[in-house]
Structure 1
Amino acid sequence: MWRATLAAFAGTLLTCATAPLVTAQPPEYQEYVSLGDSWSAGATLNPALLNAEFVPLGCLQRTQNFARQVAEALNVPTFRDAACAGATTEDMTVDQPLGKDQYPSYNEPQFDRLTPDTDLVTILIGGNDVGLAATVRTCITPNPALSPCVSRFVVNGVDQMTQRIEAAEPKIAATIRGIAERSPNARIVMLNYLDGVAVGDPCYPIIPISPTDVNWLAEKLSQLNTMLAAVARQTGVEFANTYAGSVGHDACRAPGVRWVEGLIPVTADPPGPALPFHPNQLGVDHQASTVLATLGG
């Protein structure tokens, strides 16, 4: 009996001695900074979901926006989120006033969060530079035969929104260069915008925008995303194409299917107030999974 016990004990010691040691892997990224506008902030009107850890409440930053999910998934030790509703490329280097809502304040220049040690940056910007988000609200009409946006922006065959998108391209490129100058060792990932309205598939009067203007808005969003992809190529940064996987989840879809909310400022995902024509939590989760897939995580 004792011989058997000793033999078993010796076998255990041998197994322990030859088994490889399991050590915790250090995080791949040490310092992650998120930059951008309301779609980067995961902007929400639900007070229970607002987070003011890194920015004022007026930035409407969501507690579980895509950047926070990415930081948690990658176990990044140092994380800062500068993204703020209403931000433009100008707000990367100047204070952004936030005095037009119930949370008056200002967001410090977003680039102030970058350091030479920053090794991961995500950015989603451009929609406010061209004014596309604000334009959506001006397309609303009580008469589906009217197309106030096309009538306003397409004059003598010249599309002024297309001109705005073209004019914003060098600003986006300069923003990317500004990141690289401040954080030369950073891996930079640029995002694009989710599918908000579908070409040829209006849902008037649920979203009271005429079929003509819906198609025009979808075309302008496509042009904006194409421009962002071009900037990513020109500047040599990575591109997280969140739009590609979002087709079929636009604001006309049913709750639980749509990833972008429509005109009515409430959402079922999760239940509560919503920011019109912005991603709900399902859309935010898609942004996170797309960024992680881009990073290979």
Structure 2
Amino acid sequence: MTTYREYVALGDSHTADVLTGLPPNTESTPVRCDQSPTDYPHQVAAALAIETFRDASCGGARTVDMAGPQTVPFGVNPPQFDRLTATTDLVTIGIGGNDIGLEELLAECVNPKALDPAAVLPPEDSCVAEYTRSGVDRMADNIAAVAPKIAAALAEIGQRSPQARILVVNYLTVAPVDGTGCRPFIPMADIDVVYLRDTLARLNDMLAREAAASNAELVDVYTPSVGHDVCQAPTVRYIEGFVPFSIRNPGLIAFPLHPNAAGADFQAEAVLAAIHRG
């Protein structure tokens, strides 16, 4: 197996695995990046005994924050690409969710009426009606618009670190693939759960296409995490719900609708498996 000496991790909150380990890591980022010291990049670096490791991931990051600074409460995360050097030989990147407005979709689809499992939610009470008004799928358009930004980011990584092996890590399964919700734990109409499922699948499909077109490698954590979605039992799920609960670390709770400790471990295992296959 190839030995890697300089590893840089880039990405958003699904890379930083926010709040899965406390206190937040501040070695490479401000405290309000909420980067966990047990996120999957840290686990990968430890497993590979990396000599030089820089984790630039930050909650809320978008593709623009790869080459530009990201302002967070009480600090600024320097451009994530600043951690790349000509001798970097391993890079992981997980980005795109904030660009397409995934967090806004989740917030807008929350329906107080869905807190009652017996409530009947007519189609007009769903948020999918707003997101697909006049036959235009707003989230599908957002995904198409961010594709060239992903391509540009991957190209710049290659320019800054020409020796690097680049791994694109996609997003874990959030919603049940059968489209059935779990009210009141996810207070959303089932039709909106389906829309969330389909949007995440489209995002991951786009990331796979851009990785292939850029001669990067895709680490697919989406497909093998099916059955570990937010609606599963605390001992099974990799993503926490709107009211997070950590069965593994009762004193730690992951950020809602983000990877929990088991999810971070699974991401690390998938990245390490991809590295070993190479």
Instruction: Pick the TM interval, shorter chain.
Output: over 0.9
Partner of 1:61: 35
Q: Considering only aligned residues, what root-mean-square deviation do their CA atoms show, in Å?
A: 1.5
**1:288 is paired with a residue of what secondary structure?**
helix
Aligned mate of 1:208, from 187, 203, 206: 187
Q: CA deviation at 1:156?
A: 1.3
Aligned mate of 1:281, from 258, 261, 266: 261
Partner of 1:168: 146
Task: Say yes or no: does 1:28 pair with 2:6.
Answer: no
Q: CA deviation at 1:88?
A: 0.3
Q: CA deviation at 1:93?
A: 1.1
For residues 143 and 229 of structure 2, the distance between their equivalents in structure 1, rounded to whole angstroms, comes to 22
Identity of aligned residues (%): 45
For residues 272 and 198 of structure 2, the distance between their equivalents in structure 1, rounded to whole angstroms, comes to 28
Instruction: Confirm or deny: 8 A CA contact 2:254 2:261 kept in the other structure.
Output: no
Instruction: Confirm or deny: 8 A CA contact 1:267 1:273 kept in the other structure.
Output: yes
Q: Which amino acid aligns with 2:47?
A: A
Partner of 1:295: 275
For residues 178 and 258 of structure 1, the distance between their equivalents in structure 2, rounded to whole angstroms, comes to 35
For residues 265 and 258 of structure 1, the distance between their equivalents in structure 2, rounded to whole angstroms, comes to 11
For residues 72 and 20 of structure 2, the distance between their equivalents in structure 1, rounded to whole angstroms, comes to 15
Q: CA deviation at 1:245?
A: 1.2
Mapping for residues 1-297 of structure 1, pairs under 5 Å: 28-44=3-19, 48-99=22-73, 104-144=74-114, 145-146=121-122, 147-198=125-176, 199-271=178-250, 272-296=252-276
For residues 68 and 274 of structure 1, the distance between their equivalents in structure 2, rounded to whole angstroms, comes to 17
Instruction: Confirm or deny: 8 A CA contact 1:138 1:148 kept in the other structure.
Output: no
Partner of 1:3: none
For residues 150 and 49 of structure 1, the distance between their equivalents in structure 2, rounded to whole angstroms, comes to 38
Unaligned runs of 5+ in 2: 115-120
For residues 85 and 239 of structure 1, the distance between their equivalents in structure 2, rounded to whole angstroms, comes to 21
Instruction: Confirm or deny: 8 A CA contact 2:234 2:245 kept in the other structure.
Output: no
Instruction: Confirm or deny: 8 A CA contact 2:20 2:38 kept in the other structure.
Output: no
Partner of 1:21: none
For residues 97 and 55 of structure 2, the distance between their equivalents in structure 1, rounded to whole angstroms, comes to 19
Runs of 4+ in structure 1 deviating by more than 6 angstroms, as ranges, are none
For residues 269 and 196 of structure 1, the distance between their equivalents in structure 2, rounded to whole angstroms, comes to 19
For residues 275 and 45 of structure 1, the distance between their equivalents in structure 2, rounded to whole angstroms, comes to 8
Q: CA deviation at 1:243?
A: 0.7
For residues 202 and 265 of structure 1, the distance between their equivalents in structure 2, rounded to whole angstroms, comes to 16
Q: CA deviation at 1:45?
A: 7.1
Instruction: Confirm or deny: 8 A CA contact 2:20 2:261 kept in the other structure.
Output: no
Q: CA deviation at 1:54?
A: 1.2
Q: Which amino acid aligns with 1:127?
A: G
For residues 136 and 109 of structure 2, the distance between their equivalents in structure 1, rounded to whole angstroms, comes to 18
Q: Which amino acid aligns with 1:239?
A: L
The structure that has the greater radius of gyration is: 1
Q: CA deviation at 1:296?
A: 1.0
Q: Which amino acid aligns with 1:273?
A: I
For residues 84 and 200 of structure 1, the distance between their equivalents in structure 2, rounded to whole angstroms, comes to 30
Instruction: Output the TM-score relative to the length of structure 2.
Output: 0.92
Q: CA deviation at 1:205?
A: 1.2
Looking at both structures, which has the greater relative contact order when contacts are Cα pairs under 8 Å and sequence separation is at least 6?
2
Q: CA deviation at 1:134?
A: 2.6
For residues 105 and 45 of structure 1, the distance between their equivalents in structure 2, rounded to whole angstroms, comes to 21
Q: Which amino acid aligns with 2:179?
A: G
For residues 260 and 254 of structure 2, the distance between their equivalents in structure 1, rounded to whole angstroms, comes to 7
